[in-house]
Structure 1
Amino acid sequence: MRKLIPAFQKNQVLLTDLETAHTEPGLLHIWWLGQSGFLLQWEGRRLLFDPYLSDSLSVKYANTDKPHVRMSERVVDPGQLVGIDVVTSSHNHTDHLDAETLLPLFNANPTVQFIIPEANRAFVVDRLKCDPVFPIGLNDGETVEIAGFTVHGIPAAHNELERDVQGRCKFMGFVVQAGPWTIYHSGDTLWYDGLVEILKPFQVDVAFLPINGNKPERRVAGNLNAEEAARLGRKIGARLVIPHHYHLFEFNTEDPAHFVREARRYQMPHRVLRPGERWSGKKDSVGTIDY
């Protein structure tokens, strides 16, 4: 049996770390949960971006010509994650909208609020069998205040800037403001004309950017590659880039060392997290990040 990349921390150790962070006020806490899943904690509030915490895709594609062979350990059972105020799904692909992750998560967090692209409402409701009014829909240029967070909709190109017949984005990223912090989660996206101009005014502190690239032979929609992620972070003036969308499936990954090399070349501050690892930071009176 193939050995999985070990999590930095998982299961009860990870859950204990989440609770420990409650005793450290004034800090932004970020955990990478694998693939594109990030958990933010600010002043006791928790927002979970695009979690995928099951093996549903590995099972679905096990006997096909595109097996989704897992590379890294799962960090936690989603039904064990409590105290979650907000969850996002940036688009309809299963590693960003997974019923086997979301349904146990929602059951464990009965007051959770769920943000999606408005264009995807019918699909989301069908996949999750949820109340049609439960998801909170956003389009690009729209903003919602929710559980102490301000969330802005940002277009994403995966691979195109695809919209429904009403002109609403099917693929999105999110800019989240939490106290003095501004965090950008790209969702899945390529670099498109206008992306820098949309993001730069937000003065992003931390950007979560994919690095697995866009290779047609994979037969899946692509993303920024390592060089593009480092360069985009620099162009938008982000103070820190944390890469994502690698080391989950063997056929669709990238070596994060390539991103580190490019980030150094662009003099882009960065941090590569291991599954389940936490980054914590604070801002001083002039907005400098200490990490």
Structure 2
Amino acid sequence: MIVPALHDDAFLADVASARREAGPGRLYVWWLGQSGFLLLHAGEFLLFDPYLSDALTKKYAATDKPHVRMTARVVDPARLDFVAVVTSSHQHTDHFDPDTLRPLFASSPAAKLVLPAATLAAAGERLGAAAVDRLVPLREGERVTLGAFTLEAVPAAHEELAPVYAGFVVSVGAFRIYHSGDTVLFPSMEARLRPWAVDLALLPINGRAPERRVSGNLDGVEAARLAHAIGARVVVPCHYEMFTFNTASPAGCVAECARLGQACAVLRAGERWTLDART
């Protein structure tokens, strides 16, 4: 089992420390495993696609596709009572996990969940009627502002383009962050994203393995090339080291970034990383 850089009390202490020093010129980022990231800017938090339970390990324990965890959980979602904005890029449990969202909602009464409009009905069914007023659906190209964060839904192709899949471009202060959700490359992707001139691209690298019934994502080389093509200041790879059947090494992404002159940061789960505003 991979032990996070920081977890539980130590992780929360680090978040609290960053919150005390947070200013408008800095963005703090923690990788929570899989495609989950915690963002902090000027005292406000956003949580991308958290998976902080063992729901999938339990669900598939007695099947022919066990989801054996590789990385220990960073933090109990019930302790994230400071989070006001959460995203779910699509309905797969490692991106929309009721066992993560219910305790998070219980501890953070004001938290809202931004999700593709096409998944709204399914989300209501999975979370229950009490959570319906927490859901903020977006169609492609629509925007919403929640606190300091403005989120726009952009297309994603989890093997195919469909309205149930989305990425999000988040604007906060001087920063633009692109979280792709699960996606492969598709026509017009670069042209759609390039005008944002994102500071940070959070991209999956686990690739495609149809023989193992693993849905499609970018591989590391593709992630590096996409980040470079859209002019991202920095790319952070994700969607690996969670389940033994569905992982990859970030080495390919790092090597291709080096070849392209693309800045890349590889994080450990639970690690804080800081990005300063452009000068």
Work out whether the TM-score is over 0.5. Answer: yes
> In the alignment, which residue of structure 1 is the partner of 2:28?
29
Is residue 2:146 matched to residue 1:149?
no
Three-state SS of the structure 2 residue aligned to 1:15 is helix
Q: 2 CA distance for matches of 1:91 and 1:98?
A: 10
Distance 2:168 2:2 in 1: 29
- Which residue in 2 is equivalent to 1:267? 261
Q: What SS is found at the alignment partner of 1:176?
A: strand
Task: Give the corresponding residue for 1:136.
Answer: 136
- TM-score scaled by length of structure 1: 0.93
Match of 1:41 in 2: 40
Q: CA deviation at 1:114?
A: 1.1
TM-score in terms of structure 2 length: 0.97
Whether contact under 8 Å (2:111, 2:134) holds in the other structure is no
Matched residue SS, 1:281: strand
Residue aligning to 1:189: 183
Moved beyond 6 Å, runs of 4+: none
Helix, strand or coil: the match of 2:102?
helix
| Residue 15 (structure 1) aligned with residue 12 (structure 2) | yes
Deviations 1:48-97 (A, max 9, x none): 00000001101111111111111111101111112101000000000001
% identity of equivalent residues: 50
Distance 2:215 2:129 in 1: 27
> In the aligned structure 2, how far is the partner of 1:77 from the partner of 1:217?
34
Q: Which residue of 2 aligns with 1:179?
A: 173
Structure 1 residues without counterparts, runs of 5 or longer: 163-168
Q: How well do the aligned residues superpose, as a CA RMSD in angstroms? A: 0.9
Deviations 1:220-260 (A, max 9, x none): 31100010000000000000000010000011100112221
Q: Given the alignment, which residue of 237, 242, 247 partners 1:243?
A: 237
Cα displacement (A) at 1:25: 2.6
SS at match of 2:129: coil
Alignment match, 2:203: 209
* Amino acid of the structure 1 residue aligned with 2:27: L
Deviation at 1:126, TM superposition (A): 0.6
Structure 1: distance between partners of 2:98 and 2:7: 21
Match of 2:83 in 1: 84
* Secondary structure of the corresponding residue to residue 99 of structure 2: helix
Aligned residue in 2 for 1:124: 123
* Separation in structure 1 between the aligned mates of residue 99 and residue 32 of structure 2, nearest angstrom: 15
Q: Aligned pair 1:53/2:52, yes or no?
A: yes
- What is the identity, as a one-letter code, of the residue corresponding to 1:222? G
- Contact 2:89–2:115 (CA under 8 A) maintained in structure 1: yes
Q: Secondary structure at the match of 2:264?
A: coil
- Counterpart residue type for residue 15 of structure 2: L
Of 263, 272, 276, 2:270 maps to 276
Task: Name 1:113's counterpart in structure 2.
Answer: 112
Please state whether the residue corresponding to 1:22 is helix, strand or coil.
helix
Q: Distance in 1 between matches of 2:220 and 2:186?
A: 16
Is residue 233 of structure 1 aligned with residue 232 of structure 2? no
How far is 1:176 from its partner?
Answer: 0.2
